[in-house]
Structure 1
Amino acid sequence: MTDTILSDTPRDWRETVFLPKTDFPMKAGLAAKEPAILARWEKLGLYDRLREQRAGRERFILHDGPPYANGDIHMGHAMNKVLKDIIVRSQSLLGKDAPYVPGWDCHGLPIEWKVEEAYRAKKLDKDQVPVAQFRAECRAYAEKWVAVQRAQFERLGVMGDWADPYLTMKFEAEAAIVGELLKFAETGQLYRGAKPVMWSPVEKTALAEAEVEYEDVVSTQIDVAFEITEAPNAPELVGAHAVIWTTTPWTIPVNQALAYGPEIEYLLVRFDDMVDGPRTLLIAHDLLESFGARIGHPVIVKLGDTAGTVTALQSVRESQLEGAVARHPMHALGGFFAKPRPFLSGDFVTTDAGTGLVHMAPDHGEDDFLLCKANGIDPVFAVDGAGMYRADWLWLGGQGSVINKKFVSVEGPICTDLRNAGALLAASDDFAHSYPHSWRSKAKVIFRATPQWFIPMDKAEGITPANLVTPAHAGVFGEGAGQEPQETPASAGVTHGVQGNGATLREIALDAIEHTRWVPERSKNRINAMVSQRPDWVISRQRAWGVPIALYVNRATGDYLRDPAVNARIRDAFTAGGADAWFSADHQALLGAEYDAADYEVVTDILDVWFDSGSTHAFVIEARYGAGVRANLYLEGSDQHRGWFQSSLLESCGTRGRAPYDAVLTHGFALDGNGRKMSKSLGNVVDPLKVIGESGADILRMWVASVDYFEDVRIGKEVLTTTSDGYRKLRNTFRYLLGALDGFDDAEKLTPAEMPELERYVLHLLGMLDVELKAAAEAFEFNRYLRLLTDFAQEDLSAFYFDIRKDSLYCDAPSDIKRRAARTVFDILFHALVRYAAPILCFTAEEVWQARFPSEDGSVHFLEWPELPAVPGDDGVSTLWAEVRALRTQVTEAIEPLRREKVVRSSLEAEVTVPSLPVDAAELAEAFIVAKVSKGEGVSVTRTEYHKCGRCWRLLPEVIQDLALCDRCESVVA
């Protein structure tokens, strides 16, 4: 020992210790830093540069479902776009060419409704505004919000072709949409019919199922008597009254028939003490008691018996009701109401509620329409688009609206007139049930028969092999998906084996569902059920803003024109002037010399906006990447099984005979911290823009990746605090690596074969992590991905490897093999972890990368999945060190009581015995961070008698007095 080391005045050795050194701050300051990183990416041209670098690689296309351009983004938007970005970045990290083209839905009611609101605020009537002016205002409104939302999505760190997004209102998009419509027309897959559709009297248009939400309401329920006037198979029924029950009193003025159940037993019952005298009524046997409760007259009676003033006269079956006729309660008005109302057999009639007899209004119900149509009874269109009875209607003409609660209440005109006619047996305003509402206006919708355009689900004509494109990668996810298709002869038929000739759209769509990957897998059942049961697709809307149904209908035959030459001219007109061209067109010029414009009706209905978005694969995927190319993945919320997923499926199956996607991922909804739906009225809205402004986008991105987004997820202050804690721990891992690698260069590197066992063990763990992360990325399970990554950083690195090797890192000589091995592993860990984190923490990973490798034209997002060094054969190292870790845990637990009792201040002052020595005792002491390890019975701990080294602070036998130097430190200092 030197005199200096044995001095009575201990020297301060801190300047000789190799402490981590880095300028990378622990305090993230993301809200301030991220905009600067975004600006750097824009200057760098990150997205375009990445496309250049990945050109020719296997392509991965995530097709963006278009949000509506009508307001600031909400948490659902943020969750959706971040998840998409994580997937796109992870696929790029895997070495694929993963373009992302963001898009917006710019047509339809969401935008039109907002423009109308501005008119209503000024007390102006939108219908008095010229169509061209109104459409221009809708376009300007959409343009404004596209710009706003684009900046908000970019602020989330979403990387994409923001310079050239797709907008459904671009002229080329509108031309493509009408082109897809005309494909359906040319193959006979359109028809115009007067079927009941969901109709919004407030918005004055038909609605798709996806535009409807159900809310609990309380409605008026009424029991109405229809007098039986004819009954050829049961004359005794004449003069009796058939009783119907309904919760939509406004449909009684449009009644045209009565339906009975073929398997139901009815009773003819005499009530002697009704308000207006004795009444003989026809009611289902099983519902007699509940009917009695509604009229305040308990009825418990057996056939042939009399119970008080009620007598069950006879049982009535289907055969006795065949050919029976009733008359409408308002028959005295004459005209429509004087016509007989036939009894019709309907399989849909049940005894679940009501009376077992159902009044039929073919204008206002699907079952009603079909049953009446089968019996030659057509709709009468008595209720107009605003929900009013048309002015010439004999009963209540010009009155309404039918969704007005006061109008249909017990004291309203319908019930009053029925009561005066002696037909209202019971009425109350207390029936609670679920009822459809427009999700925009929040007003009730009605079923209303109007002339609409439909795509049939069960018509075989039109979908033939000649219409189909069959990509070589059809139905195979990950094998050639998204690549240029190979030519396939027309005789190849439908993609997945449903024959084109004779196959219906429903059959082809169901087959396509079977050959699509659904994530999670259970979501397949949801869309399968929806497509199996859905009615024909209503594609027309009575609006002003959107793509018109550009068809010519022959006035004499009612058929629409199917001429490819005319259709080509229509598409060209749309390409040049957009959809507006249809409203200002020279239709004779479009029809050409072969047709006289006077012979044709110009259709001006607007296309369902779901057809617009369902066609995006044509003008985004195929237009950019080649005919027949389809998306690898569609990703949206679970509500899109009835929306975009389904409309895209039907559109593509109708024109191409296959799905437009290889896989579909469904995520849940973002709820507040208590699991409630976010609502301004509840005051529980979590604004993503506020979160970003306070904490940074990476915190929001980490939250998205951390939750099980296949289900509904929660976000609130407590959740975000937990996320922030997790973020700080991961950031600290990067900071430690950066500090530990200060000054590291290639000359220091060692091969795994030259490393100690601990380093080989850590590389083995990294290799296992690598495999699991790659599998999680391919499965789109980023909550598992993030958990694996953070657990590795915390448990395997910070709490184990870093804890053990900090002594070597700080105190060993720079040339020491152990220190060089550790720094080599740190370098490997850095390159791997920064890549793994980049898809999720896109800003932080860039900051970490630039902290070590500053470059004006470099980016972590140019990097690909790490190539890890080959580790020599395991030869038991992983098993051995797993045992060491288990022993280490036991030792730590055994030391803790002594620390609490202040017998030892730290584990460095402890000597331990363990039942086995899986590795050298000195190495175990280093692993356990104790003074000495020896073999003994069980695990026990005592305080060591060794002295403390003044430089490394380890207590070792060669240190002759406290704060003198151990042999290792003396050598390094010398």
Structure 2
Amino acid sequence: MSAETPSDAPDYRDTVFLPKTDFPMRAGLPQREPEWLDRWERIGIYDRLRERAEGRSPFILHDGPPYANGHLHIGHALNKTIKDIIVRSHQMMGRDARYVPGWDCHGLPIEWKIEEKYRNEGKDKDAVDVVEFRQECRRFADHWVNVQRDEFKRLGITGKWEDPYLTMDYHAEAVIAAEFMKLLMNGSLYQGSKPVMWSPVEKTALAEAEVEYHDHTSHTIWVRFEVVSEQGIFAKKKPVNVVIWTTTPWTIPQNRAVAFNPDIAYGLYEVGQVAENATARTGELLVLADALADSVKTSGKIEDWTRVADVAAADLDGLVLAHPLRGVEGAEGEWDYDVPMLPGDHVTDDAGTGFVHTAPSHGDDDYQLGLKYKLPMTYNVEPDGSYRADLPLFGGEAIVASDGKDGPANVSVIKQLAWAGRLLAKGKIKHSYPHSWRSKAPLIYRNTAQWFAAIDKPLEDGMGDHGDTIRARALSSIDKLVKWWPQTGRNRIHSMVEGRPDWVLSRQRAWGVPLTCFVRKGGKPTDPDFLLRDQRVNDRIIEAFEADGADVWYRDDFKTRVLDGLVDPDAYDQVMDVLDVWFDSGSTHAFVLRDRQDGVADGIADVYMEGTDQHRGWFQSSLLQASATKGRAPYRNVVTHGFTLDEKGMKMSKSLGNTVVPAEVIKQYGADILRLWVAQADYTADQRIGKEILKGTADSYRRLRNTLRFMLGALADFDEGEKLAPGEMPELEQWVLHRLAQLDHGVRTGYDRFDFQGVFQMLFQFCTVDLSAFYFDIRKDALYCDAPDSTRRRAVRTVLDILYHRLVTWLAPILPFTMEDVWLSRFPSEDDSVHLRDFPTTLADWLNEPLAAKWDHVRRARRVVTAALEVKRSDKTIGASLEAAPVVHVEDGDMLAALKSVNFADMCIVSDLSLTGDPVPNDAFRMAEAPGIGVVFELADGQKCQRCWKILPDVGTHEHPGVCARCNEVLSHG
């Protein structure tokens, strides 16, 4: 019979219960998100959450402070969004999740900006009063705190924005000083003279975390050190030279030894023919590592030579060499000292000559060898990276110029070595070299008097539960007290802490918390009373800082003010260095977690979360600082994210034009799209972002939004009286509840494990595959065409209500703006918010594995049927699936029984369907992934119902013309 629509068919459109919602398909996020921000501020949502959460277990993610000196970049957006998802999700899982944002305000970058301003104004920074200068720095930091606060809030980050923590607040400065003075009192603080990473441009020591590595082209030289003592194989030999290789020619004037490795094979080589322009000389004897001899031969333009003898470790140990600048005209005897040959495990035969020139003042390995053998330190290099003015030959010459470029020192040293006949060869090498992460200028190792925290000295503090030294406590915390997400973070920080040197605490700058200590005039650092250790003095300093901030340290009368009546002020000098800013941020646990009302009694955070570079930065400085002052790590979990890259996986750079600016993304797409980009990616690895990636993110968002919009429309006018208990529902609805119980466990576990990618993918797949492509697709007919009081339609709407409450709250931590919109579209209120809700409790007895197994059969068979119908739709045999009445062959008995127990025609959205256990015919449609199932296409028999569009034999035989029995029943009782 024909399924065509009769021309006189009644119009039943008004009798169909189509979705109704004002929730727009187009989000308009850039325009609408500021409305939600204003609303949240108006209703005081953060404080209301604290009130609602009273009595709950606290959960604190402690904010690693960003630096207050510029607009946000995409890394900031990634970082703060991850933090926000963590905080929001734990709040909605029943905790009191407090978040206090903070800023790092002291330090060189800000000081550098003010100096730059002074230079532009023609001012001399050193002529400006230090307190006035510090106040300029404070104003600069305060400006950028306000700018960044607004930019962070625009991302939808929830927190105590009106009362953040700032390391420059008076209380913070007082606590930082107090924490430093704990090192003074527990014996870990000492002044030492040793080489540290030094920035000649910034004229200060730098910590490891302030150093980054870039390619740099360095001079390389091969230098002869003449053997002056006769021992072993060298007895009665004509002049012999030990050859060293270095990439820092400027350190040769500071040489005090040459190191060898007893486990390396060395040989004595006599030079034969040499190239015309070679500096090597025919007949000279050179000592080299055998493994590197050929490379030296090539570099020295030596055409042939003879290996005349083995050189044993006994021949080298204790050998005396001459400094290569000994006797040079104009040197005035500066280098007329002996240079000992010393064994050292750090020497390798991977590159160079197998011998290492040793300048204890300019390298850590050199320094350690110098300590072991009591080598003298040199003080030839000034803070600006130039040689001291009275150094013969090289006085005043710069190693690194003020603009960060190479100074003339390297070339001058090379020329002097050549004139002295000590230069065997020279060249250049491009290699990874340390630079300041602020000025981007090359660094040098420089011996200076600095203040250190001794990380291996037993502490006098009575907090030895996790070890007696800073290093022992830190390593114990890493392994026993902290969970690392991902676990590779543990290995990274463990190796760093295990092998790190003492912490350089001092900086030769002005903007920061001073090292609040005094030293005895004329005393030596090794004297027992060199440092003034008096808690009464400490208390006065803390009190003064609380009242007036750290600026008071620089007032002329401060020393007298705090020492008078306790000790003789004239007997002590006041230390004027400032603390490493990593000590500032490493101390935040004390003045944020411990001291604030919204902190926690034990001063330990549940989570620290930053980029992977912070294993050598904030994670480590906080770990070391807290190990020194409270005996353990200040955190229980450490979560790490990667870096942001462009779409091609390249590092972002303004010069390459591949940067992505958060404000521009928000202007085009909205903050929720940026947040969704974060949630969709595996943040534990490096993140890629760009135009095409953001387009894909926006497409995922649209698909998700359509799912939510459908639910809102289908729930229009939903009444609590419609609800059915799970036991009253059809199996399909019970299957959805089963899936929700599974998801509830997965979502909570994912959020607990900081796996937002897993949470979002789980929910997105559920929405697009389980709901939109399966459940919604099937149940649209019941929603639109069943009677309002029918059990099936009530069950669908009950499940949709359950779905709604879970999906909207589960997704709220990721998409706070959109889920607020979805919530208020259904429950409009002047002062309500989805963010005041918790995740609903999901009953465990919704889980029904036997039912799930049965419906797995249904879904697998349905996929074959829908694929078969799609073929017929493509070749225009049918226009819609309701025109079909397929015969489905199912060879598996369990599957066939499962299909027969449900209305499989409704599941496949066809008007009729036949099931048979007969073997699959050869001409049936099959799918390789579903063996034993075949579909034979048949057209549906009957006429098209003018209300539900099913093609059924009974259409036209009822009271209401042109409808099927189901629709006639609905119309008769409507």
TM-score, structure 1 normalization:
0.92
Q: Work out the CA distance in 1 between the residues paired with 2:693 and 2:407.
A: 48
Give, as a single letter, the amino acid of the residue that structure 1 aligns with 2:413.
I
Q: Work out the CA distance in 2 between the residues paired with 1:40 and 1:890.
A: 49
| Gap change, CA 1:780 and 1:858, over 3 Å in 2 | same
Question: Does residue 349 of structure 1 match 2:315?
Answer: no
| Gap change, CA 1:671 and 1:79, over 3 Å in 2 | same
Selected match of 1:383 from 376, 381, 384: 381
Give the equivalent residue in structure 2 for 1:481.
Answer: none
Q: Work out the CA distance in 2 between the residues paired with 1:830 and 1:402.
A: 64
Give, as a single letter, the amino acid of the residue that structure 1 aligns with 2:965.
D
Question: Does residue 131 of structure 1 match 2:130?
Answer: yes
| Gap change, CA 1:957 and 1:542, over 3 Å in 2 | same
Give the equivalent residue in structure 2 for 1:483.
Answer: none
Q: Work out the CA distance in 1 between the residues paired with 2:272 and 2:807.
A: 86
Selected match of 2:502 from 532, 536, 543: 536
Give the equivalent residue in structure 2 for 1:525.
Answer: 491
3-state DSSP of counterpart to 1:689:
helix
Give the equivalent residue in structure 1 for 2:472.
Answer: 507
Give the equivalent residue in structure 1 for 2:218.
Answer: 219
Give the equivalent residue in structure 2 for 1:477.
Answer: none
Q: Work out the CA distance in 2 between the residues paired with 1:145 and 1:401.
A: 35
Shift of 1:432: 2.0
Selected match of 1:452 from 439, 450, 453: 450
| Gap change, CA 1:917 and 1:910, over 3 Å in 2 | farther
Give the equivalent residue in structure 1 for 2:836.
Answer: 862
Give the equivalent residue in structure 2 for 1:241.
Answer: 241
Shift of 1:917: 5.0
Q: Work out the CA distance in 2 between the residues paired with 1:431 and 1:137.
A: 43
Q: Work out the CA distance in 2 between the residues paired with 1:522 and 1:802.
A: 42
Q: Work out the CA distance in 1 between the residues paired with 2:8 and 2:202.
A: 90
8 Å Cα contact 2:256/2:376 also seen in 1: no
Pairing 1:101-116 to 2, within 5 Å after superposition: 101-116=100-115
Shift of 1:283: 2.2
3-state DSSP of counterpart to 1:326:
strand
Q: Work out the CA distance in 2 between the residues paired with 1:268 and 1:401.
A: 34
Give the equivalent residue in structure 2 for 1:18.
Answer: 17
3-state DSSP of counterpart to 2:937:
strand
Give the equivalent residue in structure 2 for 1:969.
Answer: 967
Give the equivalent residue in structure 2 for 1:621.
Answer: 593
Give the equivalent residue in structure 1 for 2:929.
Answer: none
Shift of 1:260: 2.1
Give the equivalent residue in structure 2 for 1:262.
Answer: 262
Selected match of 1:340 from 313, 338, 341: 338
8 Å Cα contact 2:812/2:834 also seen in 1: yes
Give, as a single letter, the amino acid of the residue that structure 2 aligns with 1:970.
N
Pairing 1:466-477 to 2, within 5 Å after superposition: 468=463
Deviations 1:211-258 (A, max 9, x none): 111112221111111222223554335732222111101011111222
Pairing 1:943-962 to 2, within 5 Å after superposition: 943-960=939-956
Question: Does residue 674 of structure 1 match 2:654?
Answer: no
Pairing 1:844-859 to 2, within 5 Å after superposition: 844-859=818-833
8 Å Cα contact 2:900/2:915 also seen in 1: no
Deviations 1:842-878 (A, max 9, x none): 0000001000101111110010111235656738322
Shift of 1:369: 1.4
| Gap change, CA 1:122 and 1:133, over 3 Å in 2 | same
Give the equivalent residue in structure 1 for 2:578.
Answer: 606
Q: Work out the CA distance in 1 between the residues paired with 2:631 and 2:806.
A: 43
Deviations 1:179-232 (A, max 9, x none): 000011100011110110000101111011111111122211111112222235
Q: Work out the CA distance in 2 between the residues paired with 1:157 and 1:39.
A: 11
| Gap change, CA 1:418 and 1:7, over 3 Å in 2 | closer
Give the equivalent residue in structure 1 for 2:893.
Answer: none
Q: Work out the CA distance in 2 between the residues paired with 1:237 and 1:70.
A: 64
Give, as a single letter, the amino acid of the residue that structure 2 aligns with 1:573.
A
Q: Work out the CA distance in 1 between the residues paired with 2:70 and 2:374.
A: 48
Q: Work out the CA distance in 2 between the residues paired with 1:344 and 1:788.
A: 63
Give the equivalent residue in structure 2 for 1:488.
Answer: none
Pairing 1:622-701 to 2, within 5 Å after superposition: 622-624=594-596, 625-701=599-675
Aligned positions, number: 925
Q: Work out the CA distance in 2 between the residues paired with 1:921 and 1:348.
A: 77
Give the equivalent residue in structure 2 for 1:30.
Answer: 29
Shift of 1:629: 3.0
Give the equivalent residue in structure 2 for 1:78.
Answer: 77
Give the equivalent residue in structure 1 for 2:291.
Answer: 286
Give, as a single letter, the amino acid of the residue that structure 2 aligns with 1:289.
D
Give the equivalent residue in structure 1 for 2:252.
Answer: 252
3-state DSSP of counterpart to 2:761:
helix
More displaced stretch, 395-404 vs 936-945:
395-404
Q: Work out the CA distance in 1 between the residues paired with 2:114 and 2:849.
A: 72
Question: Does residue 884 of structure 1 match 2:858?
Answer: yes
More displaced stretch, 588-597 vs 826-835:
588-597
Give, as a single letter, the amino acid of the residue that structure 2 aligns with 1:157.
G
Deviations 1:298-353 (A, max 9, x none): 44xxxxxxxxxx34333222222333222222222233311222222222222222
Selected match of 1:545 from 502, 511, 514: 511
Give, as a single letter, the amino acid of the residue that structure 2 aligns with 1:448.
R
Q: Work out the CA distance in 1 between the residues paired with 2:799 and 2:870.
A: 31
Shift of 1:508: 1.3
Q: Work out the CA distance in 2 between the residues paired with 1:635 and 1:716.
A: 24
3-state DSSP of counterpart to 2:179:
helix
8 Å Cα contact 1:226/1:243 also seen in 2: yes
Shift of 1:697: 0.4
Give, as a single letter, the amino acid of the residue that structure 1 aligns with 2:955.
V
TM-score, structure 2 normalization:
0.92
Give the equivalent residue in structure 2 for 1:485.
Answer: none
Pairing 1:180-579 to 2, within 5 Å after superposition: 180-233=179-232, 234-236=234-236, 239-272=239-272, 275=279, 278-299=283-304, 310-332=305-327, 333-402=331-400, 407=407, 412-428=411-427, 430-462=428-460, 464-465=461-462, 468=463, 493-494=464-465, 498-499=466-467, 503-515=468-480, 516-558=482-524, 559-579=530-550
Selected match of 1:597 from 569, 588, 596: 569
More displaced stretch, 847-856 vs 258-267:
258-267
Deviations 1:131-182 (A, max 9, x none): 1122111111111110000000000000000010000000000000010000
Q: Work out the CA distance in 2 between the residues paired with 1:282 and 1:880.
A: 82
Q: Give identity over the alignment, percent.
A: 51
Shift of 1:510: 0.6
Deviations 1:423-444 (A, max 9, x none): 111112x212111111111110
Give, as a single letter, the amino acid of the residue that structure 1 aligns with 2:935.
V
Give, as a single letter, the amino acid of the residue that structure 2 aligns with 1:255.
N
Give, as a single letter, the amino acid of the residue that structure 2 aligns with 1:446.
I
Give the equivalent residue in structure 1 for 2:799.
Answer: 825
Q: Work out the CA distance in 1 between the residues paired with 2:865 and 2:265.
A: 80
8 Å Cα contact 1:220/1:408 also seen in 2: no
8 Å Cα contact 1:921/1:932 also seen in 2: no
3-state DSSP of counterpart to 2:362:
coil
| Gap change, CA 1:9 and 1:821, over 3 Å in 2 | same
Shift of 1:886: 1.3
Q: Work out the CA distance in 2 between the residues paired with 1:878 and 1:349.
A: 66
Q: Work out the CA distance in 1 between the residues paired with 2:241 and 2:829.
A: 89
Q: Which runs of 5+ in 1 are unaligned?
A: 1-5, 300-309, 469-492
Shift of 1:664: 0.3
8 Å Cα contact 1:917/1:935 also seen in 2: no
Shift of 1:660: 0.3
8 Å Cα contact 2:400/2:406 also seen in 1: no
RMSD: 2.0
Question: Does residue 722 of structure 1 match 2:696?
Answer: yes
Give the equivalent residue in structure 1 for 2:43.
Answer: 44
3-state DSSP of counterpart to 1:926:
helix
Shift of 1:887: 1.4
Shift of 1:114: 2.1
Give the equivalent residue in structure 2 for 1:923.
Answer: 903
